[in-house]
Chain A
């Protein structure tokens, strides 16, 4: 009896347990509904059939038209404009895989893979702890396809990888003459550089952030990287130049993207991104004729 009295004297606390159970159910439900990766769309114009068949009569040439075309082949990117072509942008393709087992990335040259009759790789990529990726499906675990820009003197020349200085956020730096910066010592606090983005000239500094000044340091040390230049960046630079120069053409916003049958979708999207960023909004897709 004495015990009971004691209990009644205690302040009554609300029973939160049912509410908690409700919450525990609600939160997983909402978690599954939330998209952590935001999706966007890329719009394209439908392929024009006349451009696919190469033997049809070409439309009468318009002297003012730009007729800008970017071709993606296995070895190079090429730009045609006004009926002429610019120098080919050779690249070396590199595949970066992410290992599920340890979460690390590994980078391979795709030409080192040997395939058997069924199309499965005999020497699939190996993770750092020795696990091999599946020979048949390893292509689907490619995380990024990098295109390293090559300096080639001739078709036969194996080429030299071009290097460039990249910022913390992975944009290539350009100097005052709109050229890629290839010397790491140039990029230091006090220097003025730009990136491929429009009116992006900024001063570099260490440890201070204000408008027009980029802080290149992290924990007191410069955090810039010197690595193989991406062929996409070379392409972007050329496209920006073309868009600026031919802004008066009737088709100044148009671009046709051509690709080989076995070009990966990722490459197409990347090229389309660079074209859109350079100001070419109307993107058409077409196919390279067989053998071309």
Chain B
């Protein structure tokens, strides 16, 4: 009985050194990964991007346009319901056009303020769910073109292309 109490009373110390080693390696590895990637686009939550063999990565900061199952979003802000884009006949999505024109004007003003020509820019990266109909994709793309965003690119998941 006496032996038992002594055992409980003793202070047990964990050897954390090995755990620290693992943690340090993971930490360094992750910092490296985050640093080298420098993500310019972040995948939206509500959709699945298609896989593609494309290896091109965005070089410049672009406007983010997202079309998910329910909404069309510009920079995370809900603009119009996807179903109403599908329902309309016209190629121009007006609600989207208004927002995009505003963004384009702001971009131009910023470029002029920096002393650059306002011809450049106009980059937009569109993220679409892989099961989006072509009709919706085409209308969104056309609207981008009408409102001055002429460099349209689609975001895709990079597939490890062998060969």
Contact = CB atoms under 8 A, between A and B. Distances in A.
B1 interface: no
Interface string B103-125: 00000000000000000000001
Given A27-B30, A35-B39, A47-B138, A261 B50 contact: no
Contacts of A197: 163
Contacts of A139: 131
B56 A43 contact: yes
A23 B129 contact: no
Contacts of A276: 53-54
Nearest to B91: A52
A16 B19 CA distance: 10
Interface in A183-212: 195, 197, 200
Contact of A264 (B53, B133, B142, B156): B133
Interface of A is mostly: mixed
Interface residues of B, number: 57
Given A40-B55, A46-B141, A265-B128, A23 B23 contact: yes
Interface stretch (B72-80, B93-101, B146-154): B146-154
Nearest to A260: B134
A40 B158 contact: yes
Contacts of A37: 43, 157-158
Given A20-B16, A169-B162, A265-B50, A42 B153 contact: yes
B102 interface: no
Interface of B is mostly: mixed
B163 A169 contact: yes
B26 interface: yes
B152 A265 contact: no
B72 to A, nearest CB: 14
Q: Sort chain A's interface into a size bin.
A: 35 or more
A237 interface: no
A139 B129 CA distance: 11
A16 B17 contact: yes
Contacts of B34: 30, 33-34
A13 B13 CA distance: 9
A41 B129 CA distance: 14
Given A16-B16, A46-B141, 10 more contacts: A23-B24, A34-B37, A35-B39, A37-B157, A39-B156, A40-B52, A42-B56, A264-B133, A268-B134, A268-B137
Interface of B: 13, 16-17, 19-20, 23-24, 26-27, 30-31, 33-34, 37, 39, 41-43, 48-58, 69, 91, 125, 128-135, 137-138, 141-142, 144-145, 150-158, 162-163
Interface of A: 13, 16-17, 19-20, 23, 26-27, 30-31, 33-35, 37-44, 46-47, 52, 72, 137, 139-140, 142, 169, 171, 195, 197, 200, 259-266, 268-270, 272-273, 276-277, 285, 287
15 contacts: A27-B23, A27-B27, A35-B43, A37-B43, A38-B37, A39-B158, A40-B57, A43-B151, A43-B152, A46-B141, A47-B141, A262-B134, A269-B52, A269-B154, A273-B53
